[in-house]
């Protein structure tokens, strides 16, 4: 009788270690069947204290608001630009010719644009060309269907200008980059950054009072004269339509 009890108590299910191994096996089978879902749920509860709080939420919302504001401003700028283009397309009259820019040559020397209007449309050499914002340049050559415009940024461009605040004439010379040079032949000229520059009333090449640009920076290294860099109001690399003034000075 004693031997029988010893045999029965030695069976595997009476051993604690075997039950632990059996439980582990069942757990692994459950994980296999659930495809790791339990791990995801555990991670959910473990990571919950570290989730982004209210501060991070506000940062995200502010960033989203700023993105929306930037997109709105860009849409407004595009809308304004398209309106200006439409106005130029529809504004031809007896004194102006509306033309499209069909080519650009913006190298440091060949700063010019090609337009889709030529001598058949009444375009003449020397005609003034304007875009949204102000003066672009002058027609330097024409064909029957097209015309070429020397931009204010071209080294070949030299036009008389007027600084309204100090009531003084100057000479605007293209420098081969986006900002032509303004030369004032007076060392006492009180020119300042932000001064408005337009075509000179004394110019023999351009109509007077056409907006050109504003003073961006001043170079006072020369004693006999003052020079400044001009930020043009009309941007040749962004303009698709222009106006050609048929009336010549």
In a domain, 5, yes or no: no
Which of 72, 90, 108 terminates a domain? The answer is 90
CA distance 177 to 229: 10
In a domain, 22, yes or no: no
Looking at the structure, do residues 131 and 82 belong to the same domain, yes or no? no
Looking at the structure, do residues 177 and 106 belong to the same domain, yes or no? yes
State pLDDT tens for residues 137-176. Answer: 999 999 989 999 999 999 999 999 999 888 899 999 998 8
Of residues 92 and 28, more confidence is placed in 28
CA atoms within 13 A on the CB side of 22: 8
Q: What is the number of other CB atoms lying within 10 angstroms of the CB of residue 62?
A: 10
Looking at the structure, do residues 70 and 177 belong to the same domain, yes or no? no
Least confident stretch, 4-18, 110-124, 168-182: 4-18
Contact 246, 127 (CB under 8 A): yes
State residue 87's pLDDT score. Answer: 56
Helix axes 16-34, 37-47, angle to 10 degrees: 90
Percentage of the chain exceeding pLDDT 70: 61
pLDDT at 73 over 80: no
Looking at the structure, do residues 71 and 140 belong to the same domain, yes or no? no
State residue 151's pLDDT score. Answer: 94
Beta bridge partners of 226: 184
State residue 2's pLDDT score. Answer: 46
State pLDDT tens for residues 213-224. Answer: 999 999 877 767
In a domain, 25, yes or no: no
Tell me the pTM.
0.62
State residue 90's pLDDT score. Answer: 52
Looking at the structure, do residues 147 and 212 belong to the same domain, yes or no? yes
SS3 163: strand
Contact 85, 79 (CB under 8 A): no
Distances (CA, A) of 155 to 26, 58, 76, 159, 211: 86, 53, 34, 11, 20
Looking at the structure, do residues 108 and 80 belong to the same domain, yes or no? no
Looking at the structure, do residues 68 and 119 belong to the same domain, yes or no? no
SS3 228: strand
Q: What is the separation, in whole angstroms, between the first and last Cα of the chain?
A: 134
pLDDT at 248 over 70: no
> What is the extent of the structural domain holding 100?
96-249
pLDDT at 47 over 70: no
- CA 44 to centroid of chain Cα atoms: 44
Looking at the structure, do residues 114 and 169 belong to the same domain, yes or no? yes
Mean pLDDT of 81-102: 67
pLDDT at 133 over 50: yes
* Number of domains making up the chain: 2
φ/ψ of 199, rounded to 5, equals -70, 145
In a domain, 17, yes or no: no
In a domain, 69, yes or no: yes
pLDDT at 17 over 80: no
Looking at the structure, do residues 230 and 109 belong to the same domain, yes or no? yes
DSSP, res 243: E
State residue 186's pLDDT score. Answer: 80
Of residues 19 and 119, more confidence is placed in 119
What's the whole-number average pLDDT of the chain?
76
Mean pLDDT of 21-38: 67
Which of 58, 75, 90 terminates a domain? The answer is 90
SS3 11: coil
Dihedral (CA of 28, 32, 36, 42) sign: negative
Which of 75, 90, 105 terminates a domain? The answer is 90
Beta strand residue intervals within 13-167, DSSP E: 96-106, 111-115, 128-131, 134-142, 147-151, 158-163
Instruction: Tell me the CATH number at 198.
Output: 2.40.10.340
Looking at the structure, do residues 42 and 119 belong to the same domain, yes or no? no
């Amino acid at each position: 009788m004693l031997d029988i009890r010893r045999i029965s108590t030695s069976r595997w299910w009476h051993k604690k270690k075997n039950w632990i191994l059996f439980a582990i096996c069942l757990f692994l089978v459950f994980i296999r069947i659930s495809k790791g879902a339990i791990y995801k749920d555990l991670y959910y509860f473990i990571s919950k204290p570290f989730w982004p709080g209210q501060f991070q939420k506000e940062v995200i919302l502010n960033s989203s608001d700023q993105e929306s504001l930037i997109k709105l401003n860009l849409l407004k700028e595009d809308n304004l630009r398209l309106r200006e283009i439409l106005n130029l397309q529809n504004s031809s009259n007896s004194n102006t010719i509306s033309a499209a820019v069909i080519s650009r040559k913006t190298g440091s020397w060949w700063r010019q644009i090609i337009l889709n209007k030529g001598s058949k449309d009444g375009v003449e050499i020397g005609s003034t060309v304007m875009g949204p914002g102000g003066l672009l340049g002058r027609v330097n050559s024409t064909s029957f269907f097209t015309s070429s415009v020397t931009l204010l940024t071209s080294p070949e461009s030299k036009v008389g200008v007027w600084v309204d605040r100090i009531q003084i004439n100057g000479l605007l010379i293209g420098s081969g980059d986006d900002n032509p040079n303004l030369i004032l032949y007076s060392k006492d000229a009180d020119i300042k950054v932000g001064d408005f520059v337009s075509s000179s009333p004394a110019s023999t090449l351009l109509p007077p009072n056409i907006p050109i640009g504003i003073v961006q920076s001043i170079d006072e290294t020369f004693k006999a004269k003052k020079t400044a860099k001009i930020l043009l109001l009309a941007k040749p690399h962004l303009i698709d339509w222009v106006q050609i003034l048929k009336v010549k000075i």
